[in-house]
Structure 1
Amino acid sequence: MSGSVEVRQFLLRYEGEGPSAGYGGVPAQRAGQADASRVSDDQVRRARLAVARGAEGIEDCAELLDMLGLRPDKDGKAPVQR
């Protein structure tokens, strides 16, 4: 499963919405193969907030952000946006 789909599902789960309720402002998967893995800055910001709300502490939050590709690299971009 691609990272952007996992982030969308994570956001939907923590926003209390299911698949029948729509994406709650999160754009649907793009049709083009080149655009399929691109995630917007707003999506990353919302995903980071959702992780922070659900984390049990600072270390847990940092580990989750890293696992989801949401921690910025030395260029300032999250791996999920590459």
Structure 2
Amino acid sequence: MEKVTEREIRDLEDRASYIKGERARALRAETEAVMARAEAFGAGADLIDRLDLLLLNLTEASRDVCTNTRCPHYGKRCKMR
């Protein structure tokens, strides 16, 4: 395992800027691996915070359409999930 660098995090943030759906899920998995490396090597709190925020944004971007038939957003992108 390699140490996490500022440049690697910046690259992930740039790639995450405008993606949605399946590509966001793939990038989220990659970001989770980087987060594990960062925590294992004791990276600075600022880098871990940036990765955590990036994971939150990617989770939101990768959400599927609503499948709850009682929800007013059924079949659409649900903000309540």
Report TM bin, short chain: 0.3 to 0.5
State the TM-score, normalized to the length of structure 1: 0.33
Structure with greater helix share of residues: 2
Q: Which has the larger radius of gyration?
A: 2
State the TM-score, normalized to the length of structure 2: 0.34
